[in-house]
Amino acid sequence: MAKAAARYACQQCGAVTSRWTGKCEACGSWNSIVEETPVDLTPKGLGAGRGRTIELVGLKGETEDAAHVPSGIKEFDRVCGGGLVPGSALLVGGDPGIGKSTLLLQVVARLAAHGIPCGYVTGEEAIGQVRLRARRLGVADTSVTLATATAIRDIVATLDKPGAPQVVVIDSIQTMYVDMLDSAPGTVAQVRASAQELIRVAKRRGLTLLLVGHVTKEGTIAGPKVLEHMVDTVLYFEGERGHQFRILRTVKNRYGPTDEIGVFDMTDRGLNEVPNPSALFLGERGQAVSGAVVFAGIEGTRPMLVEIQALVAPSSLGTPRRAVVGWDAARLAMVLAVLDARSGFTIAGHDVFLNVAGGLKIGEPAADLAVAAALVSSVTATPVPRETVVFGEIGLSGEVRPVGQTDARLKEAAKLGFARAWAPKGTRCRGAGLEVEEVARLDELVARLGERPRAKPGPGVLERSRV
C-alpha cells in the first residue's frame, strides 16, 4: 500500500493543513497542530482487522424506565425529572454563595433519612464547617457520612468498595485532582479527568454522583463545556444577590424534561421549598399602578405568574439607557422598534428600565406583549386594569402571535384570582372562568392604554408616569 501523505490537524478547531505550523491559520491558536495519520476504512485498507457486524434492533422493545429515587424535596425532584437515578451523574452549577453546598447537604440528609447510605466529600471546607452547617440546617442527626479529600485516586478507591455510600456529593469538582496529571486542580485537564474517573466508578457501582461546579465570570460552569457533556443532568442554581429566592433550573437532563425550575427560599435555617411560586413572585398586590403588568408565563411544565415592571423617564444622555433585569435586552430593543415603526408609539430620548420582579429570568417570547403593555402603560400613566394577566408574542409587523400552553396559563391566573386576560387572537378560555380580551395587533394594545405620544411625548405625561 502506498504511504498516505501526512496531514496535520488543529486540535482546537479541526482545520486540516498539509504542513505543520506553530500557529493555526484558521483559528489562531498556538501549538495546537498535530500530525495525524490518515486511516483507510475501506475493506481493502482494514484487511484482517475489519470490524464485526453490529446487531441492529427495533425502536420498540422491552426496556425498563430509569428508576427515579425521589429525595422528598419536591422542588429538587421536579428539576431532576422525578428524583435521582442510580448510576447517573448530576452537576449543580452556580455562583459562589448561592447555596449549592446547602442544597446538596439537605438533599443527602433527606435521602439518608429514608435509609439510603449517603456520603459528602468536600474539598473546600473542613469537617467542622460542614458539621456546623448540618446543625444549623437541623440535619445533624442523619446518617450522612463526611470526608475531606481532593485526590481522585483515594475517592475512587473508597467508592469502589462494597458498602460505599449510594449517593455521593463531590464539593466541588474544581478542587479535585488526578495525581497523574501535572496541571493544577481546577484546570480544564484536571476537571475533565476527575469527572471522568468519578463517572466511571458511579456507572460501574450504580452510585448517584452529585457534583458541585463553580461558575466563571461569564456564567458557565468553569472547566470545559465537555463536563456538561459527560454528566447526565446539569442544573444551574441562580438568584439575584439581595433576593432571598433561589431558582434551580434544568439545563440538560437525560432522564427527564429540561427547562424545569424549582424555587427555594433561603432562610437562616437553610433552603425552604416554595410550592406556589406565582403567589411569591406577585407578592402583595394593591392598587393597579402604571408600568406594572402581570405576565402569565410557563417555566418548563409549570405556569408561573410574574410581574413585569417598566419605567420610562426623560433622559439626559445622548444615548438613552436601556437597562433590563431578568429579560433579554435584544428582545426589549425589538419591542421598542415595533412599537415605534408599527404603532407610531415613540419612546426615543427616554431612558427605559425593565425589571422582572422577584429575581426570575424569563426567556419566553410570550412575554413580549406584557413588556409592551408595561412600556406603554408607563408612558401614558394608564395602569393596566387590575386582575388582568397579559401574554402573547409580538411579530415584526406588529401582529400579536399565539403562544403555547394557553390553558395552563389561564388556569393559573384564575387560580390566583385574576378575572381577565389580554391574549392573542384566537385564545379560547376552556373552563378556567376567565374573560379573554383578544389583542390581534399592537395598535389595539396602545389604543387600550390611552393616548399615544407623538414623536416627542409631552413631559407632563411622563412626569405622571414616574409615581
| Residues at the contact surface with ligand TYD, assessed by CB under 6 A | 94, 96-102, 133, 136-137, 266, 268-270
Q: Which three cell numbers stand for residue 112?
A: 439518608
Q: How far is the CB of 123 from ligand TYD (least distance, A)?
A: 12
97 binds, among ligand TYD, Mg ion, none (CB under 5 to 8 A by kind): ligand TYD
- Sequence-ordered alpha helix ranges (H) in 52-187: 74-79, 100-113, 127-137, 152-159
Q: Which three cell numbers stand for residue 211?
A: 457534583
| 106 contributes a contact to Mg ion by CB under 5 A | no
The number of CA neighbours under 13 Å toward the Cβ of 314 is 10
Please give the Cα distance from 89 to 85 (Å, whole number): 8
Of 93 and 291, the one with the shorter C-beta distance to ligand TYD is 93
Q: Which stretch binds Mg ion (CB under 5 A): 100-108, 192-200, 291-299, 420-428?
A: 100-108
136 binds, among ligand TYD, Mg ion, none (CB under 5 to 8 A by kind): ligand TYD
Q: How far is the CB of 239 from Mg ion (least distance, A)?
A: 15
Q: Which residue is nearest to Mg ion (CB)?
A: 101
Of 65 and 218, the one with the shorter C-beta distance to ligand TYD is 218
Of 49 and 97, the one with the shorter C-beta distance to ligand TYD is 97
Q: How far is the CB of 172 from ligand TYD (least distance, A)?
A: 8
Of 43 and 96, the one with the shorter C-beta distance to Mg ion is 96
Of 266 and 440, the one with the shorter C-beta distance to ligand TYD is 266
Quote the DSSP letter at residue 45: H
Please give the Cα distance from 105 to 167 (Å, whole number): 11
Please give the Cα distance from 167 to 288 (Å, whole number): 49
| Cross-strand bridge partners of residue 84 | 69
How many chain residues touch Mg ion (CB under 5 A)? 1
99 binds, among Mg ion, ligand TYD, none (CB under 5 to 8 A by kind): ligand TYD
Integer Rg of the chain from CA:
27
Of 120 and 345, the one with the shorter C-beta distance to Mg ion is 120
Q: How far is the CB of 94 from ligand TYD (least distance, A)?
A: 5
Of 95 and 265, the one with the shorter C-beta distance to Mg ion is 95
Amino acid at 185: P
Tell me the residue length of the chain: 467
119 binds, among ligand TYD, Mg ion, none (CB under 5 to 8 A by kind): none
SS (H, E, C) 132-153: HHHHHHCCCCCCCEEEECCEHH
96 binds, among ligand TYD, Mg ion, none (CB under 5 to 8 A by kind): ligand TYD
Closest to 181 (Cα-Cα) out of 225, 201, 151, 154: 151
User: CB–CB of 24/33 below 8 Å?
Assistant: yes
377: enclosing H helix or E strand: helix 368-380
60 binds, among Mg ion, ligand TYD, none (CB under 5 to 8 A by kind): none
Quote the DSSP letter at residue 259: S
| 101 contributes a contact to Mg ion by CB under 5 A | yes
Please give the Cα distance from 29 to 186 (Å, whole number): 21
Q: How far is the CB of 100 from Mg ion (least distance, A)?
A: 5
Dihedrals φ, ψ of 3, to 5°?
A: -70, 125
270 binds, among ligand TYD, Mg ion, none (CB under 5 to 8 A by kind): ligand TYD
Please give the Cα distance from 310 to 390 (Å, whole number): 14
Of 266 and 419, the one with the shorter C-beta distance to ligand TYD is 266
Please report, as ranges, the residues that interact with Mg ion according to CB under 5 A.
Answer: 101
